[in-house]
């Protein structure tokens, strides 16, 4: 009996210390329990006391682990069937009911969605390190060489090296300035092409011409050569491949959320990803082989790929900065796809909004004639049509607390950038396209670089889009030049311009924008 009482006494002390580790009261309770356990008549009271302690601890634990509110969902599949074809819109509507931090059970996975600037700040700034990794998914596996790229790789030495090389030689502020001549050369080519279309009376398919020019800009920086010498079927096929990648990679794939169904590929998504990956791999392999063969022609003028290849090594060593051929291919895939699609979609949406509101285009052209200013238009497009409506998902490394809610370990995080941009609590008349909102008041100081969470088209934190600087420069430069150089008009047969979206990693315009252009400047300005 004495051993039993001693054991109960020890348990009592342990449970109090675990239940109330910061309290001084458990010392008093433990003394009482020890005194009581000396009497065989009070053993039952000891047992009851322990049960009470267990109950208190359980209640405290549950109170500390209150999940954010959210829809109940279905058995097994959870909220997956609720997403529909436009998940960013669905989640924005749900947030109106459940709040700025919302929890969903997606298959066997936990998912939390942030839908306001404050919630986005809590996750992407305060808890940035805890959400520094991406969750595994089919896109990373089948498109991005099993997450060997910069976008999906785990936060670690390999990712840091890829990011460092990209910033230093292509995407950072100094690097972007250094390849300004490349932008000028390709812009001259683009303006010349548009001028020829105007003389022939042909409509310009905006995303096609943008993808063609941007791919050549990026190609000159990475490979020291244009990727496409002439605009045609080859460049259009590349554009279609890029759009397909950005679309399928954004799908809510059942296999990502219910792993035991992954092999069945019920939606056919993974099969399509594998076929698309083969096309890109052939293209990237050809690029690298031709680049290696032409090394002698570059003499003392190394390009981006030369700098990356300097870190190539067949033997991977955790203690040295070495990249495999797969790492290099995956990085090129990131740069060519994200570098062309996200910027071109912002420019296309900007032109579409101004064609829908001709007075805005006229005002912008008048201002640029005086002082070449295009920043408010770009900011307004980032707000209303963010290139990435739901930021690339992250996943929690450890459990944490946000706004008083418990977020379990391995919870997927999505920040609804699209919803933030259309929140009437954040923006006055958010559904209107009003570039002038950024010309005065508190909005004037807002920048899309990841510090102002009202406007985070490129994300924020350590996993912010590596191409933020390049994207902003390209969008400002190209859009401004297009507006300054031409008047834009819709074809006569187009009545009300279709502004529908297609969901993906990038927010595509459902019907590609086509328009007629008329030169505004002296004809000599259009001669290459």
Q: Which residues are annotated as a binding site?
A: 465
Cβ neighbours around 345 below 10 Å, total = 27
Cα 202-235-324 angle, rounded to 5 deg: 160
Q: How far apart are CA 282 and CA 284, in angstroms?
A: 6
Cβ neighbours around 132 below 10 Å, total = 18
Q: Which residue has the tokens 């996993």?
A: 463
DSSP bridge pairs for 486: 519
Q: Is the dihedral of CA 380, 381, 384, 387 positive or negative?
A: negative
DSSP bridge pairs for 112: 103, 413
Angle between helices 206-223 and 468-485 (to 10 degrees): 130
User: Secondary structure of the chain: what % helix, strand, coil (to 5)?
Assistant: 55, 10, 35
- Pair of tokens at residue 498: 């279709």
Q: Is the dihedral of CA 94, 138, 392, 351 positive or negative?
A: negative
SS (H, E, C) 55-72: HHHHHHHHHHCCCCCCCC
- Pair of tokens at residue 420: 């933030």
Q: Which residue has the tokens 């408010």?
A: 376
In sequence order, the 6+-apart residues with CB closer than 8 A to the CB of 392 are 134, 151, 152, 459, 463, 505
- Pair of tokens at residue 199: 């003389």
SS (H, E, C) 403-467: CCEEECCCEEEEEEHHHHHCCCCCCCCCCCCCHHHHCCHHHHHCCCCCCCCCCCCCCCHHHCCCC
Residues annotated within a binding site for heme? 465
Q: How far apart are CA 397 and CA 408, in angstroms?
A: 9
């Amino acid at each position: 009996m004495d051993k039993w009482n001693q054991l109960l006494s020890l348990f009592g002390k342990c449970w109090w210390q675990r239940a109330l580790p910061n309290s001084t009261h458990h010392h008093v309770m433990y003394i009482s329990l020890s005194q009581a356990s000396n009497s065989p008549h009070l053993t039952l009271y000891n047992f009851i006391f322990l049960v009470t302690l267990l109950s208190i601890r359980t209640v405290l634990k549950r109170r500390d682990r209150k999940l954010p509110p959210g829809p109940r969902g279905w058995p097994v599949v959870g909220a997956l069937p609720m997403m529909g074809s436009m998940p960013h819109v669905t989640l924005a509507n749900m947030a109106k009911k459940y709040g700025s931090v919302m929890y969903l059970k997606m298959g066997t996975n936990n998912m939390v969605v942030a839908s306001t600037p404050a919630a986005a700040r809590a996750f992407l700034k305060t808890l940035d390190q805890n959400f520094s990794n991406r969750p595994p998914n089919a896109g990373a596996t089948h498109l991005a060489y099993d997450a060997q790229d910069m976008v999906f790789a785990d936060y670690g030495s390999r990712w840091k090296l890829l990011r460092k090389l990209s910033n230093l030689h292509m995407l950072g502020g100094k690097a972007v300035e250094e390849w300004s001549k490349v932008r000028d050369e390709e812009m001259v080519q683009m303006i010349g092409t548009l001028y020829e279309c105007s003389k022939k009376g042909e409509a310009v398919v905006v995303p096609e011409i943008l993808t063609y020019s941007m791919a050549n800009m990026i190609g000159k920086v990475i490979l020291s050569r244009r990727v496409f010498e002439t605009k045609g079927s080859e460049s259009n096929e590349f554009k279609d491949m890029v759009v397909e990648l950005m679309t399928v990679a954004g799908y809510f794939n059942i296999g990502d959320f219910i792993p035991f169904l992954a092999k069945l590929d019920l939606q056919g998504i993974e099969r399509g990803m594998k076929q698309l990956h083969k096309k890109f791999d052939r293209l990237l392999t050809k690029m690298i082989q031709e680049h290696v063969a032409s090394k002698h022609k570059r003499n003392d003028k190394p390009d981006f790929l030369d700098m990356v290849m300097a870190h190539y090594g067949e033997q991977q060593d955790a203690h040295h900065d070495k990249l495999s051929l797969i790492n290099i291919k995956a990085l090129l895939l990131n740069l060519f796809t994200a570098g062309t699609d996200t910027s071109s979609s912002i420019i296309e949406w900007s032109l579409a909004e101004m064609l829908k509101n001709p007075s805005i285009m006229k005002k912008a052209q008048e201002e640029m004639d005086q002082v070449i200013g295009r920043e408010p238009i770009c900011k307004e497009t980032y707000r209303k049509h963010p290139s990435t409506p739901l930021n690339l998902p992250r996943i929690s490394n450890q459990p944490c607390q946000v706004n008083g809610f418990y977020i379990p370990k391995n919870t997927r995080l999505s920040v609804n950038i699209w919803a933030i941009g259309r929140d009437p609590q954040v923006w006055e008349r958010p559904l209107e396209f009003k570039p002038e909102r950024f010309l005065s008041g508190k909005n004037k100081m807002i920048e899309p670089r990841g510090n102002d969470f009202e406007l985070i088209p490129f994300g924020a934190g350590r996993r912010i889009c590596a191409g933020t600087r390049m994207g902003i420069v390209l969008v400002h430069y190209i859009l401004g030049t297009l507006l300054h150089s031409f008047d834009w008009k819709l074809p006569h047969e187009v009545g009300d311009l279709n502004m529908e979206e297609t969901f993906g990693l990038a927010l595509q315009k459902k019907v590609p924008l086509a328009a007629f252009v008329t030169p505004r400047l002296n004809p000599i300005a259009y001669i290459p």
